[in-house]
């Protein structure tokens, strides 16, 4: 690695640590600001093509969510940090992590691509997606530096055999065939993310119609969207109750009193 590349990596690493600490606030703010400033449009002025694009956006976002579900269900990685700092009790190389080093971030990016397709504004493609990509890359760079320092040769060997972002699907069935899929863990860890992006998708579907068509013309669509949205907060409340009541505990669950230092469950 050249001196310039090392400096660039150091800058990205420092930025990644800062972004990691405040990621729950920075990206939503960028999304809200972009939507507030951007003006959506129907492709070639066609409402039919706009509906197709909406469906494609939902499909892409659902693919990102499905990827997150597969990753969490088969082998959840404890790299979420502790007290807004990077941490990793162990190097997870099994499950989907045997085929991609950062599958959760790939899923996150697909979620934002899907939301941008739904809103279909030039500013989303030109500003928001590059910001999200830069944020994720900065976090990944910071994590890689931390993991290389913590696990040394073990992590270097892992990087040599597993792609950074593009999943290697060959052998995935064999990898997961001997592993148990933990639905309780998925529900316990993903209900919040699922609620957030699905709610954002409904909001964008509604708001882009209001901006393009006006309240009076969009009213019928808004009523249907409101009706379809009703089960979403109900499902969120149910999942949260199941988690808080302890009904979603699975064999890997660690209570706060017995939780290892720096482990994030």
- Domain tally, the chain: 1
Q: Token pair of 68, please?
A: 């997150």
What is the pLDDT confidence band of residue 86, given thresholds at 50, 70 and 90?
Answer: low
Task: Please answer whether residues 48 and 91 qualify as being in contact, where contact means their C-beta atoms are separated by less than 8 angstroms.
Answer: no
Sign of CA dihedral 142, 146, 149, 154: negative
Residue pair 24/68 in contact by the 8 Å Cβ criterion: no
Summarised one tens digit per residue, pLDDT across range 16-69 is: 677 766 767 777 787 788 888 889 999 988 999 999 999 999 999 999 999 999
Residue 53: which of 116, 101, 134 has the closest Cα?
A: 116
138 falls in which pLDDT band (50, 70, 90)? Answer: confident
Check which CATH number belongs to the domain holding 159 and give it: 1.20.120.1630
Kindly tell me if the per-residue pLDDT of 255 is higher than 50: no
In a domain, 63, yes or no: yes
Residue 190 lies in a domain: no
pLDDT of residue 173: 84
Residue 250, in any domain of the structure: no
Q: Name the pTM for this structure.
A: 0.84
Indicate if the pLDDT at residue 154 is higher than 60.
yes
Boundaries of domain holding 156: 3-181
CA distance 94 to 102: 12
């Amino acid at each position: 690695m050249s001196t310039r590349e090392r400096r660039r990596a150091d800058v990205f690493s420092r930025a990644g640590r800062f972004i990691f600490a405040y990621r729950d606030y920075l990206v939503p703010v960028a999304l809200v600001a972009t939507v507030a400033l951007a003006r959506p449009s129907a492709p070639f002025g066609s409402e039919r093509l706009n509906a197709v694009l909406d469906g494609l956006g939902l499909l892409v976002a659902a693919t990102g969510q499905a990827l997150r579900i597969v990753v969490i269900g088969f082998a959840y990685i404890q790299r979420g940090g502790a007290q807004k700092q990077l941490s990793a009790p162990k190097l997870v190389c099994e499950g989907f992590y045997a085929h991609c080093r950062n599958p959760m971030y790939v899923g996150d990016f697909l979620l934002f691509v899907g939301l941008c397709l739904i809103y279909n504004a030039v500013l989303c493609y030109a500003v928001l997606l590059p910001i999200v990509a830069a944020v994720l890359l900065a976090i990944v760079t910071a994590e890689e530096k931390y993991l290389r320092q913590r696990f040394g040769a073990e992590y270097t060997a892992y990087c040599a055999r597993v792609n950074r972002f593009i999943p290697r699907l060959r052998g995935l069935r064999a990898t997961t065939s001997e592993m148990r899929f933990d639905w309780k863990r998925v529900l316990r860890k993903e209900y919040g993310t699922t609620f957030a992006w699905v709610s954002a998708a409904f909001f964008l579907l509604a708001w882009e119609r209001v901006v393009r068509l006006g309240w009076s013309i969009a009213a019928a669509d808004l009523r249907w969207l409101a009706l379809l949205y009703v089960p979403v907060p109900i499902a969120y409340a149910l999942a949260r109750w199941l988690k808080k009541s302890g009904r979603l505990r699975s064999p890997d669950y660690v209570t706060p009193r017995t939780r290892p230092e720096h482990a994030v469950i």
